[in-house]
Amino acid sequence: LTRPDSPASQVPRYVRVNTLKTCVDDVIDFFKRQGYSYLGKAASVEELRALSGKKFLSDLHLPELLVFPPQTDFHDNLLYTSGHIILQDKASCLPAFLLSPAAGSHVIDACAAPGNKTSHLAAILKNKGQIFAFDVDTKRLATMNTMLMRAGVTSFQLAQQDFLTVDPGDPKYNKVTHILLDPSCSGSGMVNRLPREEAAPSAERLQALAGFQRKALSHALCFPALRRLVYSTCSLHREENEDVVQAVLQERGSAFRLVNAFPSWPCRGLAAFPGAECCLRASPADTLTHGFFVAVLEPCGEGAAAPR
Ligand code: SAM
């Protein structure tokens, strides 16, 4: 689906090692045996940009991520079909990495299908604890179930349920300390879309999406034991990103704050409000990834989790 002249043609193939099934060193050895040369850990985004041929690197930001030249196709690779590696864009690995729940935690993945971030969360949790995953889309949930089985994820409960109807007062969720909210969005950051999908979303569509995103974020902040929440989209639109975060923070008074997550990440939130630079953005040009947005929120005062 990738056109040769599109920004997607510049984005490397990112491979997340599924630590529920294997380890980074074993995967590196596997690819070396398949004829790839391992160049070590990248020191800059420029090194990733320069990758070509049968060479690969470890990512400079995320420890379980290997980086191959753009257009490398591993969909038929044994490590992929057996769930030992997950083919996931680097930006889409940020939410679970920044949520970083300790093993044993109770976590909600509010809009979870097809489950790449759920499987990443399970790896971080070492399959210990509980992930409550919700989605409304039957087909995507079926795909997700297969993917989670293949990835060896055991610590999850998957429900076909509108997250807005999940009751924060239900005792089942009274140990939920971490929430990942990756709601439906315009997808305007996805760079491998076909031309007919590239039209900018209308103002009405953006408004409708932002309305849902605000409701979902506001709802997520109602869970009583919450210590950290990550909000993410693959949208470039401020209306779905900084504006949603600002509106919900304002609505909550001083109960929650934005965490200055991943200070070494080069691309920050648009200056839509004071503190918006605490948010992360990603793009093909700056970070060699799809376009993405991430915000990390914590309750003010006690109860905040250790920063990442
Ligand atoms: N987090 C997923 C992953 O990493 O694989 C991708 C999630 S996708 C951006 C957004 C998802 O939200 C879609 O699967 C959609 O069906 C789901 N969704 C939309 N409205 C929802 C709602 N009210 N409650 C729960 N899920 C919803």
43 alpha carbon – ligand 1 mean position (Å):
34
5-56 pLDDT per residue, tens: 566 678 999 999 999 999 999 999 999 999 999 999 999 999 999 999 999 9
- Note the pLDDT of residue 302: 60
Q: Which residues, in sequence order, are bridge partners of residue 85?
A: 17
Best residue for ligand 1 mutational test, from 93, 97, 111 (most atoms within 8 Å of Cβ): 111
Atom of ligand 1 nearest to the CA of 92: 4
* Angle between helical axes of 116-124 and 90-99 (0-180°, round to 10): 40
By DSSP bridging, strand 280-282 and strand 292-299 are antiparallel
301 pLDDT tier (thresholds 50, 70, 90): confident
ipTM of the complex: 0.99
Atom of ligand 1 nearest to the CA of 184: 10
Best residue for ligand 1 mutational test, from 94, 147, 184, 235 (most atoms within 8 Å of Cβ): 184
Residue 14 parent element (H or E): strand 13-17
Pick from 96, 95, 32, 99: nearest CA to 66: 32
212 alpha carbon – ligand 1 mean position (Å):
11
Question: Distance between CA 209 and CA 87 in Å, rounded?
Answer: 27
61-80 pLDDT per residue, tens: 999 999 999 999 999 999 99
Q: Which residues contact 255 (CB under 8 A, 6 or more apart)?
A: 221, 299, 300
265-280 pLDDT per residue, tens: 999 999 999 999 999 9
49 alpha carbon – ligand 1 mean position (Å):
31
Question: Distance between CA 168 and CA 212 in Å, rounded?
Answer: 18
Strands across the sheet containing 37-41: 37-41, 55-58, 65-68, 13-17, 85-87
Residues annotated as part of the active site: 234
Pick from 263, 264, 17: nearest CA to 124: 17
Average pLDDT of the chain, as a whole number: 94
